Amino acid sequence: MINITYAKYLINENNENCSVEITIDGITKGVPLDEANTDYQNILQWVADGNTIEEAD
Amino acid sequence: MSTIEVNKITPVSGGTTIQVGESGDTITVPSGATITNSGTANNFTSYRPNAKPLIINGDMNVAQRDTSVTGITGDGYKLCDRWYEYLSSLGTYTFAQESQSIHNPAGGAGFRQAFRIDCTTADASPSASDEFWFGMKFEGQDLQLIKKGSSNAEKLTLAFWVKSNKTGTGQVNFRDTDNGRMCSGTYTISSADTWEHKIINIAADTSGAFTDDNAESLQIQWYLDSGSNYEGGAAPTAWETDVATDRNAAGTLNIGDNTANDWSITGVQLEIGEYTSSTLPPFQHESFADNLDRCHRYYISYGNVGTTQSGFPARAYSGSGLMWAVTLPKPLRASPTVTLTGTIRAFGSSNTHDSTSAFGVTSYANTNSTIVMLQSTGFSGLSNDRSYNVMAINDTFYTLNAEL
């Protein structure tokens, strides 16, 4: 059950994507780009369902 | 070989010891025979291949997230560490870490905390796909001693204390998420509002090895309620390909059907081998510190408690971005999700800068590391390449979550 309402990349000092800031079930989280992380697994499923992660500012 | 048929061997009159054989002799117990502890015999230790309990926090003592949570309608890790609940559109609940009197059966067995679930909004007619279960997830690399998927696969025994206002049958599933397999057992709550000790035996499985890594391989699920998609089959007592309609086929508790309902559990232990109530090895009690230490592999909470602030040296890499290293009490299972509640304040030489957003992990080098790099781009007015001290202020806390 995935209830992500917001997802946006965060960049590191080298301007590379390093995390995704998401809001899920009303809580904002910073999720690493690590496929062993269960929140990132949910994000990948959310993207596979047709959603898009916003690029970083 | 001669045979002596007797029912009892006793010491000679006045004696208290019996000797079998001589030094250097081999005493053989035939294959298939069982040596049984009466339940009270001393110095009768069971073979236990695991040095630490397979169930982490089985006594419900550690609750880093919270000790009472209301209004729960969805899934997640809400209360006692390592314990997960899956809830999909089947009522609303309060979870509480409930203290037990030393004079009740569970408390008297050494379990002074329990995980209690109270229904606060009922759903007596769940939709077909609704379900509610309580359980734990395991890393595959921690389960290799079960030898699942081989001819040497082990049987398992699950034991726990349970209490509910409802009597009836509960179903517990062992779900192999690597191979889509499942085996179940049932328990009966005979007396309402009374702690009862239950034991469930799980068959060995010679098919489907657990993957030897840090990902999820096994779930133990106590089904509490469900819709028709999870009922109608039969609870499998032998391992089978996972069938949805078998998952709560035997369950009759239906904890979500009335706001008077509650269900509590504690003293959960998982043993390698097949045991009964009279042969079950004792629960492996750990100190609170040891228990918390094992929980830290999956979840760590940092932050301000009262007036105490946790500070870390940080470096600005832009006007809004700050990064800092956090030393972990132990390596995490995986790179963690970071959640901030409140405000992180960066203290400079003569000014402060606050951030409440854009909080994340810059890097977590590998899963044997005790350093994680965090960052936030939610600040403003920082001076590039300057050092700051970051602190959680005014009851702020942030968490690192590497749960399964």
Question: Residue B141 domain-assigned?
Answer: yes
Residue-by-residue DSSP string for B243-291:
-GGGTTSS----GGG-TT-EEEEEEEEEEES---TTTPPPP----HHHH
Contact A12 B375 (CB under 8 A): yes
Question: Residue B288 domain-assigned?
Answer: yes
The C-alpha of A56 sits at a distance from chain B's nearest C-alpha, in angstroms, of 10
* Among B369, B370, B358, residue whose Cα is nearest residue B398: B358
The C-alpha of B337 sits at a distance from chain A's nearest C-alpha, in angstroms, of 5
Q: Give the other-Cβ count within 10 Å of B387's Cβ.
A: 14
Question: Cβ(B357)–Cβ(B376) under 8 Å?
Answer: yes
User: Which residues of chain A have a CB within 8 Å of the CB of B317?
Assistant: 12-13
Q: Do B217 and B319 fall within a single domain?
A: no
Instruction: Give the end of a domain, one of B261, B295, B329.
Output: B295
Q: Do B252 and B225 fall within a single domain?
A: yes
Question: Residue B320 domain-assigned?
Answer: yes
Q: Does residue A34 sit at the B interface (CB-CB below 8 Å)?
A: yes
Contact A10 B333 (CB under 8 A): no
Question: Cβ(B209)–Cβ(B142) under 8 Å?
Answer: no
Q: Do B271 and B366 fall within a single domain?
A: no
Q: Do B206 and B308 fall within a single domain?
A: no
The C-alpha of A17 sits at a distance from chain B's nearest C-alpha, in angstroms, of 9
Two structure tokens written together for B396: 């702020």
B-chain residue closest to A16, CA distance: B362
Q: Do B92 and B238 fall within a single domain?
A: yes
pLDDT for res B308: 52
Q: Do B256 and B308 fall within a single domain?
A: no
Q: Do B337 and B234 fall within a single domain?
A: no
* Among B286, B267, B249, B146, residue whose Cα is nearest residue B207: B146
User: What CATH number did the domain enclosing B306 receive?
Assistant: 2.40.30
Q: Do B260 and B189 fall within a single domain?
A: yes
- In this prediction the ipTM stands at 0.96
- E strand or H helix at B98, and its extent? strand B92-99
Instruction: Give the end of a domain, one of B278, B295, B312.
Output: B295
Question: Residue B54 domain-assigned?
Answer: no
Question: Residue B52 domain-assigned?
Answer: no
Q: Do B233 and B351 fall within a single domain?
A: no
Instruction: Give the end of a domain, one of B270, B295, B320.
Output: B295
Contact A34 B375 (CB under 8 A): no
Note down pLDDT in tens along chain B; length 404 residues: 788 889 888 888 888 888 888 988 988 888 777 777 665 666 665 578 999 999 999 999 999 999 999 999 999 999 999 999 999 999 999 999 999 999 999 999 999 999 999 999 999 999 999 999 999 999 999 999 999 999 999 999 999 999 999 999 999 999 999 999 999 999 999 999 999 999 999 999 999 999 999 999 999 999 999 999 999 999 999 999 999 999 999 999 999 999 999 999 999 999 999 999 999 999 999 999 999 999 999 999 887 655 556 688 999 999 999 999 988 999 999 999 999 888 889 999 888 999 888 888 888 877 788 999 999 999 999 999 999 999 888 777 889 999 99
User: What CATH number did the domain enclosing B104 receive?
Assistant: 2.60.120.200
Question: Residue B72 domain-assigned?
Answer: yes
d(CA B43, CA B37): 10
Q: Which of residues 82-121 of B touch A (CB under 8 A)?
A: 88
CA angle, B238 then B243 then B249, to 5°: 80
What are residue B107's phi and psi, to 5 degrees? -60, -40
Contact A57 B364 (CB under 8 A): no
d(CA B241, CA B212): 21
d(CA B390, CA B352): 10
Contact B358 A31 (CB under 8 A): no
Q: Do B311 and B390 fall within a single domain?
A: yes
Q: Do B279 and B365 fall within a single domain?
A: no
State how many domains chain B has.
Answer: 2
Range of the domain at B257: 68-295
Q: Which of A28, A33, A43 is the best substitution to test chain B (most B C-beta atoms within 10 A)?
A: A28
Q: Do B223 and B368 fall within a single domain?
A: no
User: Which residues of chain B have a CB within 8 Å of the CB of A57?
Assistant: 377
* Among B41, B82, B48, B53, residue whose Cα is nearest residue B65: B82
Two structure tokens written together for B321: 């971005």
Question: Residue B10 domain-assigned?
Answer: no
pLDDT for res B14: 82
The C-alpha of B321 sits at a distance from chain A's nearest C-alpha, in angstroms, of 8
Contact B75 A1 (CB under 8 A): yes
Question: Residue B58 domain-assigned?
Answer: no
Q: Which of residues 9-68 of B touch A (CB under 8 A)?
A: none
- E strand or H helix at B387, and its extent? strand B387-401
Q: Give the other-Cβ count within 10 Å of A52's Cβ.
A: 8
